[in-house]
Amino acid sequence: MKRHAFDTAIALTAQPDGAYLGQTSPAYANMVGPFGGVTAAQALNAALQHPDRRGEPVAFTVNYAAALADGPFALHARPARTNRSTQHWVIEMLQAGQTVLTATAVTALRRETWGAGEHSMPNVPRPDAVPPPQGPRPVEWIKRYELRFLEGGLPAAWDDRDHGVSRTQLWVRDDPPRPLDFAALTALSDVFFPRIWRRRARLVPVGTVSMTVYFHADAAQLAATGTGYLLGQAQAQAFRHGYFDQTAQLWNEAGALLVTTHQVVYYKH
Amino acid sequence: MKRHAFDTAIALTAQPDGAYLGQTSPAYANMVGPFGGVTAAQALNAALQHPDRRGEPVAFTVNYAAALADGPFALHARPARTNRSTQHWVIEMLQAGQTVLTATAVTALRRETWGAGEHSMPNVPRPDAVPPPQGPRPVEWIKRYELRFLEGGLPAAWDDRDHGVSRTQLWVRDDPPRPLDFAALTALSDVFFPRIWRRRARLVPVGTVSMTVYFHADAAQLAATGTGYLLGQAQAQAFRHGYFDQTAQLWNEAGALLVTTHQVVYYKH
C-alpha cells in the first residue's frame, strides 16, 4: 500500500541528542512555505513520538515565529513536568539554528466521567449531498483535502466590500481518505481559509500567529470516526489593528464534537 | 496612595541571571493555592517587564503544570524569536526547582488597519442596574473583584442535575477599581467560575489545565476603558472524559471586544 502523503509529511527521525529531524512537505506547500496545519502536526508529533510521552493530547498551542523555508528542520520536545495523569510539553522548531516555531502541549490519561455536549452540530445536509468544489486550487495543500463547502466558501467575486459575516461551514476529510488520528486532527484544525478573505472578499496578506487546539476526543473516538468526514465551522469575533481571531469546531458525522480550536491571525491593510 | 493588591501580587524582582522572583499573593488565595488568573498575570508580566520586550501582547497561552505552593517562585522569560514587528516568548515558572507552569506569548507592534467587530456585546442592563452579589465569598480572591451577575451565577441550590447550559454573563471589575492594563485583563480572563459547576449544579473537583488569551485591545483602548466595568460571557462547548472547554469574551462598557479567551479544565466524576 502506498504511504499516505500526510504520513510522509509528519515523519520525524530521532537524533542521538533527543531532537528530531523532519522536513517540509512539497505535497502540503502553501503560497509561501508549507501549510501551517501540517507544520503544527509535525510539532505535535515530536511529543507524540517521544519515548517518555504519557497519555493523549488534551491541549496544544503552536506559535508561528517565522515563515518556514522549504527544507529540513529540527524539533526539540521536552517534558517539562510529568504528573500522575498529565504531562506538560515545551516544543521548539528550528531552521538553521533559528527558532521558527514555539509550542506547548498537555497530554493526559483520560478516564470515564460524566460527559455532555453543549455546542451541537449544526443541522446541515450530509456530505454526499454537497458538491465538491469546482474552482481552481492554486496551492498544493488544498489538493490534499476534500472540501465540500456548505456556507462561506472562497468568495465567488473578490468585490472588496464588507460582507458583515465571516462564518464558513464545510465537510472535510483527507484526500485520499486516511484514518483520523491526533496529528491529522491538528492539521485539520487549520484547514479554514482566512476569515478576513471571507468577510471582506479581499485577498489581503495574512499569516496565522498562534493556534490552540483542544482535543475532546480520545483515541477510541478517533478510531470510530475512521475515514469519515468532519463538519468544520469557523468564525471570527474581532478584526482590529492588524490581527483577527478565529474560533472553530470539528464534529464527526455522528455529531460528536472532536475538537474546538482557536487562532489569531495577522493581516495587512 | 495605597498600592493596589493586584500590583503587589504581580510584582517581580529581576535577578542577576535574568530570571525574576515573585511570590503568591494571600490577597488572591483560592481554595488551594492562588487564583489562576493572577498566576497567569504574573507569568505574562515576566515578558512585559523584560528589557528586551517589543510591542504589546497579542496572544498568550499558559499551562498550569502543578498546583502552586504558597510562597516564592522563579520566572524565566526568553525571547525565542524577535522579528521586525512581532516577538515570541517562552516562559516557565518554577518552585523548588520544579516546573509548575509553562507559557508562550506573542507580542507585536500594532498598526492602524481596517477593523470590525463580529461578536457584538449582548444587549444587557447597565452595571448600576445589576445588584452586586449578596452570597458568601468563601475564597479570598473573589473579594478582589466586583462581580455583578446577569445570568448564570453560582447555583442557588447545588441540586446535582443537568441544567443543560453553562453560560454565564456578568459585569466585572477590580475591587477597588484599578485602571485596566494587560496584566489585569489576563487575570480577568480567568474570572469565571468553572462551567461544570454551572451546568451540573454540583461542586466537582476542577482545575484549569491551559488558558489562551487573545488581546484585541491595544494600550490606548485599555487606557480609554480605565476603571470601567467589563462585560464577561463564558460558555462550555463540550464536557468529556475528564476535561471541558470554556470560550469567553470580555467587552468594555462602550461595547468594544477587548479579549477573547479559551481554556480547558480538568474535572473529576
> Could you report the per-residue pLDDT of A22-59, keeping only the tens digit for each?
999 999 999 989 999 999 999 999 999 999 999 999 99
pLDDT at B156 (0 to 100): 87
Which of B104, B165, B235 lies at the smallest CB-CB distance from A63? B104
- Per-residue pLDDT tens over the stretch A2-30: 899 999 999 999 999 999 999 999 999 99
Please say if the pLDDT value at position A88 is more than 80: yes
Residue with cell 449544526: A122
pLDDT at A156 (0 to 100): 87
Q: What is the mean pLDDT of residues A194-217?
A: 97
Rounded to the nearest angstrom, the minimum Cα separation between B246 and chain A is: 10
Q: Is the dihedral of CA B47, B53, B55, B59 positive or negative?
A: negative
Please say if the pLDDT value at position A264 is more than 80: yes
CB-side exposure of B100: number of CA atoms within 13 Å? 23
Residues of chain B neighbouring A104 (CB-CB closer than 8 A): 61, 63, 102-104, 210
pLDDT at A134 (0 to 100): 77
Question: How wide is the angle at C-alpha B214 spanned by C-alphas A205 and B206, nearest 5°?
Answer: 145
pLDDT at B133 (0 to 100): 78
Rounded to the nearest angstrom, the minimum Cα separation between A165 and chain B is: 7
Question: How wide is the angle at C-alpha A117 spanned by C-alphas A198 and B168, nearest 5°?
Answer: 80
- Per-residue pLDDT tens over the stretch A166-202: 999 999 999 999 999 999 999 999 999 999 999 999 9
B251, three cell numbers: 467587552
pLDDT at A136 (0 to 100): 81
pLDDT at B1 (0 to 100): 72
pLDDT at A135 (0 to 100): 78
Residues of chain A neighbouring B117 (CB-CB closer than 8 A): 237-240
What does each C-alpha distance from A143 to A29, A139, A198, B57, B189 come to in angstroms? 10, 8, 20, 35, 39
Q: Is the dihedral of CA B233, B180, B64, A21 positive or negative?
A: positive
In chain A, pLDDT over 70 holds for what percent of residues? 100
pLDDT at A239 (0 to 100): 98
Homologous superfamily assigned to A5-109+137-267: Acyl-CoA thioesterase, double hotdog domain (2.40.160.210)
Listed in sequence order, the residues at least 6 apart from A69 whose beta carbon sits closer than 8 Å to its beta carbon are A24, A33, A95, A96
Local mean pLDDT, 10-residue blocks, chain B (269 residues): 94 97 98 96 98 98 98 98 98 98 98 97 98 86 97 93 97 98 98 97 97 98 98 98 98 98 97
pLDDT at B66 (0 to 100): 98
What does each C-alpha distance from A110 to A90, A237, B16, B243 come to in angstroms? 21, 31, 42, 8
Contact B114 A269 (CB under 8 A): yes
B120, three cell numbers: 457584538
pLDDT at B195 (0 to 100): 98
B159, three cell numbers: 441540586
Reduced to 3 states, what is the DSSP secondary structure of residue B183?
Answer: helix
CA B215 to chain centre: 11
CATH number of the B5-109+127-267 domain: 2.40.160.210
Residues of chain B neighbouring A113 (CB-CB closer than 8 A): 239-242, 267-269
- Per-residue pLDDT tens over the stretch A138-156: 899 999 999 999 999 999 8
Please say if the pLDDT value at position A207 is more than 80: yes
B110 vs B138: CA distance, rounded Å:
41
B125 vs B150: CA distance, rounded Å:
8
